[in-house]
Chain A
Amino acid sequence: MVDVALQSSRTATAQAGRKRAGLRNALRRKSMSAFLMTLPLILLIAVLVIYPALYSLHLATLNKAMTKFVGFGNFEFLFKRETFWLVVKQSCIFAISAVVFKALIGFIVAHFVHNVPANKQRKWRGMLLVPWVIPPAMSTLAWLWLFDPSYSAFNYTLSFFGLGPIPWTGDAMWARFSVILVNVWYGAPFFMIMYLAALKSVPEQLYEAAAIDGANWWQRIWYVTLPMMRNIIAITTLFSLIVTFANFDIVRILTAGGPLDHTHIFATWAFRVGIEGSDIPLGASVSLFMVPILAVAAIFILRDITKRGNES
């Protein structure tokens, strides 16, 4: 340490004249090394994210053999197909209802966990987060087995209550319900954890003040908890909307889009058309329809983040 200090002071006196040049040099080196440090990141994003995103725009304008430019031909073809509109409708139903239920269940469960004495919260939180930890492809297999047409454990249980066997994945409406149920099961813990973190950050004094003013529990949630959690609720919901809208694993494994395309969403239908049907341009066009809703959600998230960045 002493050596270094002595050395630097000596160089400082010796090179006082060249100090300015040295500083500029160091600055240049700094920005140069900073650029080199971010270069792998920039290359990765440019080559494997931005380029493919633009490439899919190009692919969407080609014919099936990818030899001819057809402009908006693929989109015109899609607009005329009934299945496409079915997929649009199902994607919206799937994403919106799953996100609403995830947010509601997450909110309620977070409150219950928050109610419990602090030393027991860890245990409950640990159990309730398990669905989020298991890879969705693996847990969906368990659900598929729970929904099995002939050996369904759910139907076995329901038969004790006199309820007939339910065609969990066989009937269009029930299949949609099952797909949403599995998604809610998988995603609700994420909301729970986010809301729990937000609940813990609400100052206790606010509740005390509200209690002194005679607020009942509903008023406390409506006037204290919700306004304090507004930011987290908004950003978690938007995140989840993106992820749910782009979901693939659950629908693919549980129903593979069936029965009769009645559970297909954009991702699974794009896979069916583009990879299994080897019509890559059409598949690319289908997945491009996810962009508008993703863009809207991304803009809102970004606005929130820059706003918070400015505040801090």
Chain B
Amino acid sequence: MSTVTIDKSGPTRKVKYGSMSRDRTWALRWSYFFLTLFAIFSLVPPFYMLITSLKSSAEISAATNPWWVYHPTLSNYVELLTSNQFLRFFWNSAWVSIIVVTITMLISVPAAFALARMKFWGSATLATGVFLTYLIPDSLLFIPLFKMFAVFGDWTGIQLVNRWYVLLFIYPTLTVPFCTWIMIGYFASIPKELDEAAIIDGASWFQTLTRIFIPVALPGLIAATIFAFTVSWAQFLYPLVFTTSTDQLVLPVGIITTLIKGDVFNWGQIMTGALLGAAPPLIIYAFLMDYYIAGLTAGATKG
């Protein structure tokens, strides 16, 4: 930047200045070129989902250009959205996600507040422990959890395996640690004077949380909510392990187990289902992109 201003001084340097700016234009052109390539790479699968979802089975098996749809039809959408089974998957997914988001917020917001502000014995260790829990993947826990719930059913007679609501117990293990962790970060960044003033005015801890911390850290709260929702909506391993009856399935597992019958792939419907399954996160992302990205980067940069 500063070299540019120096270059302006002498007429002999004018040429240099020109070449600098030409370099910059070329760098910009190359950037656009490669960005276009990467954007195509990123958008090919969703684009292909959309294209396929608009085709009839006859057009899919015809030897035409697969990248284009010649006779667009909405029949796949109509068929799925009027099928009780598919709607059942959709509602199961929606209910599980909404309830899990609520549970997650009820657990992690008070916990994050206590860990960020009310220092007590072991609070630092607990905060680190929460973070470590976030690093434990689902593929490590699914077998013992499955056995645990089966044994629990044998002992108490309360059968939780193969019921959609078993997921309400399991999904919080994925969402709560991360949400608590990022909420600790957001709460810790609120100036201490603010809650000291509230305490002096006679507010209780609960009032401090609801009247001061939650409104001030609202962006963090939204980011955490979005995270919890997308994780519960996208989760595939746990429902695959825990639910098998078709009326108990959530969307991702439902599409894969019911629309693929043996070796017969009804690709038009599978792609339509996949697109409808991808729609809620995509819509949230389209409207709340900044919060989404804030949540994404907060996990590693905060704390």
Mark A residues whose CB is within 8 Å of B. 1, 4-5, 7-8, 30-31, 33-35, 37-38, 40-42, 44-45, 48-49, 51-53, 55-56, 59, 105, 108-109, 112-113, 115-116, 122, 124-139, 141-143, 145-146, 148, 151, 153, 156-157, 185, 189-190, 193-194, 197, 204, 208, 211-212, 232, 235-236, 239, 242-243, 245-249, 252-253, 266-267, 270-271, 274-275, 280, 283-284, 287-288, 290-291, 294, 297-298, 301-302, 305-306, 308-309
Which residues of chain A come closer than 8 Å to B39, judged between CB atoms? 124, 127-128
- Interface SS of chain A: helix, strand, loop or mixed? helix
Q: Is B60 an interface residue (CB 8 A)?
A: yes
Report if B42 contacts A (CB, 8 A): yes
Least CB distance from B289 to A in Å reads 6
Chain B residues numbered 114-146 whose CB sits less than 8 Å from any CB in chain A? 114-115, 118, 120-121, 123, 126, 128-133, 135-146
Q: Is the CB of B107 within 8 A of A41?
A: yes
With A44-B173, A271-B241 already in contact, the answer to whether A53 and B131 are too (CB < 8 A) is no
Task: Answer whether A130 and B42 are a contact pair too, CB < 8 Å, given A33-B205, A248-B237, A249-B236.
Answer: yes
Tell me whether B293 is interfacial, beta carbon within 8 Å. Answer: yes
Contact B144 A290 (CB under 8 A): no
CA distance A153 to B49 in the complex (A): 12
- Report how far A116 CA is from B39 CA in the complex, Å: 14
- Of the listed stretches B10-18, B25-33, B73-81, B217-225, name the one at the interface; the rest are far from the partner chain: B25-33
Q: Pick the contact of B274 from A5, A40, A141, A280 — CB < 8 Å? A: A141
Please name 23 pairs of A and B residues whose Cβ atoms are closer than 8 Å in the assembled complex, sorted by A.
A31-B120, A35-B114, A38-B114, A48-B169, A52-B145, A53-B141, A55-B148, A124-B39, A126-B289, A130-B285, A134-B281, A137-B236, A139-B278, A141-B49, A142-B49, A145-B48, A146-B45, A156-B65, A194-B297, A271-B142, A280-B143, A301-B135, A305-B131
**Shortest Cβ gap from B262 to chain A (Å):** 14
Given known A-B contacts A41-B130, A128-B38, A145 and B270 have beta carbons under 8 A apart: yes
- B58 in the interface (beta carbon within 8 A): no
* Chain A residue with the shortest CB-CB distance to B234: A135
User: Are B143 and A190 closer than 8 Å at their CB atoms?
Assistant: no
Q: Is the CB of A116 within 8 A of B31?
A: yes
Contact among B60, B137, B143, B240 for A56, CB-based, below 8 A: B143
Nearest A residue (CB) for B293: A193
Q: Given A142-B48, A246-B138, verify A275-B146 contact (CB < 8 Å).
A: yes
Assembly CA distance A245 to B110 (angstroms): 32
Bound Cα distance A190, B296 (Å):
8
Q: Which residue of B lies closest to A145 (CB)?
A: B267
Beyond A40-B111, A141-B255, whether A153 also contacts B67 by CB under 8 A is yes
Complex CA gap A274/B142 in Å reads 10
Interchain CB contact under 8 A, B131 and A302: yes
Give the size of the chain B interface in residues (CB under 8 angstroms): 100
Which residues of the other chain, A, contact B252 by a CB distance below 8 angstroms? 135, 137-138
- Point out the residues of chain B lying under 8 angstroms from A301, CB to CB: 135
- CB neighbours (8 Å) of B169 from chain A are 48
A141 touches B270 (CB 8 A): yes
Q: Are B121 and A309 in contact (CB under 8 A)?
A: no
Chain B residue at minimal CB-CB distance from A244: B137
Contact A142/B271 with A185-B42, A197-B297, A249-B237 known, Cβ cut-off 8 Å: yes
A55 with B147: CB separation less than 8 A: yes
Question: Shortest CB–CB separation between residue B8 and chain A, in angstroms?
Answer: 16
Is B35 a contact partner of A124 (Cβ separation < 8 A)? Answer: yes
Q: CA–CA, A35 to B49, complex, Å?
A: 49
Contacts of B265 in A (CB 8 A): 145, 148
B138, A248: Cβ atoms under 8 Å?
yes
Indicate whether B52 reaches chain A with its CB closer than 8 angstroms.
yes
In the complex, how many angstroms separate the beta carbon of A56 from the nearest chain B beta carbon? Answer: 4
Closest to A189 in B: B42
Is the Cβ of B270 less than 8 Å from the Cβ of A232? no
A45 contacts B133, CB within 8 Å?
A: yes
Q: Check B173 against A48 for contact (C-beta < 8 Å).
A: yes
A29, closest chain B residue (CB): B205
- B-side contacts of A127, CB under 8 Å: 39, 42-43
Q: In the complex, how many angstroms separate the beta carbon of A198 from the nearest chain B beta carbon?
A: 8
CA distance A121 to B130 in the complex (A): 34
- What is the bound-complex CA distance between A153 and B65, given in angstroms? 8
Closest B residue to A253 by beta carbon equals B256
Instruction: Give Cα A51 to B42, complex, Å.
Output: 40
Tell me the complex Cα distance, A305–B129, Å: 13
B113 sits at the interface (CB 8 A): yes
Please pick, from B118, B135, B202, the residue contacting A33 in the complex, using a CB distance under 8 A: B118
Q: Residues of A contacting B32 with CB < 8 Å? A: 116
